[in-house]
Amino acid sequence: MSLTGFLDNFSLAEILQIIDSGYKSGRLVIKPSPEKQEQEFAGSYYLWFEQGKLVSVTNNFSNTYLLSFVEQQGLINHPKLQERIRQLCSTIEPVGLCLYKHGSLTKQQLQLILQTQLEEIYKLFEISFGWFKFEDISDQDKMPWSEMTGESIEARQLALNGLRKLTNWKHLESVIPESNSILEQLVTQHNLKLEPLEFKLWKFADGETSLQQFAKAFNQPIVTIQRAAYGLIVADLIEALPVFDISVQSSLSTNKNQILPEPKLATVGTQSVNTQPKVNNSLVSNLLRFLGNF
The DSSP bridge partners found for residue 46 are 29, 58
What pLDDT, on the 0 to 100 scale, is given for residue 86? Answer: 84
Instruction: Say what the pLDDT of residue 4 is.
Output: 92
Burial 206-235 (b: 16+ CB within 10 A, else e): eebbbbbbbbebbeeeeeebbbbbbbbbbb
Q: Which residues touch 81 (CB under 8 Å, ≥6 apart)? A: 67, 70, 71
Note whether 196 and 228 are within 8 A (CB).
Answer: no
- Confidence (pLDDT) at 107: 92
Residue 166 region by backbone torsions, left for phi larger than 0, else alpha for psi between -120 and 50, else beta = beta
pLDDT tens per residue, range 55-89: 998 876 555 677 777 777 777 766 677 788 888 88
Low pLDDT (below 50) residues in the chain:
245-262, 266-280, 283-284, 287-288, 290-294
pLDDT score of 84: 81
Three-class secondary structure of residue 2 per DSSP:
strand
* Three-state SS annotation for 256-270: CCCCCCCCCCCCCCC
Phi-psi sector, 236: left (phi>0), alpha (psi -120 to 50), beta: left
Q: Residue 193 to residues 82, 84, 199: CA-CA distances in angstroms?
A: 36, 37, 9
pTM above 0.85, yes or no: no
d(CA 182, CA 69): 46
